[in-house]
Each structure stands twice: as structure tokens, then as C-alpha cells.
Amino acid sequence: MIFPMSSIVKSEQFFTIYDDSNMYVLEDKTKSNLTVIEHVIDEVYIIYTDKGIIYDGDGRGHKVNIRYYLNKDDYSIE
């Protein structure tokens, strides 16, 4: 998912936060080039996430979160 540059709220070395109408989208820059394989609810944080696969040295794939979709009513930038 590509977000327009004007919607960037905060950008640091390892993450960027975008403003998308009724939610904030936190994107992990270290995983931003991964292909999204599923859009699910994260069991730990109870929020929607995009997940991709990273392969380790043995060739085993590990599902990792690429983006978190945070509802503005529940979360603030601070």
C-alpha cells in the first residue's frame, strides 16, 4: 500500500506513521518492501495488520507484521 507524502505524520529511522482519514497507519521501514500475504487482526494488540514472510538462513518462513492500522479513537500519536 502506497501512501501520499502529504499524509506523513511522523517519520523516524525505522518507522513511518501515516494519517489515513479515520486511522493511523504505522509502517515498519525495515519490512516495507515485503509482499503482503494477509490482512488479519493481530492476536497481541487486537488491531488490523498486514503480514508478510521473512525467510531465515535455514529457509524457514516467519510471518511478520509490516503495517499496523490504528483507530484514531483508540490511539493518539503521543
Give residue-wise pLDDT tens across range 4-54: 555 889 999 999 999 888 899 999 999 988 999 999 998 888 999 999 999
Which residue type sits at 69?
Y
Q: What is the pLDDT at residue 3?
A: 59
Q: What is the pLDDT at residue 47?
A: 93
SS3 6: helix
Q: What is the pLDDT at residue 78?
A: 74
Pairing of strands 61-71, 15-20: unpaired
Which run of H or of E encompasses 74? none
C-beta atoms surrounding 69 within 10 Å: 17
Cα–chain center distance at 77: 15
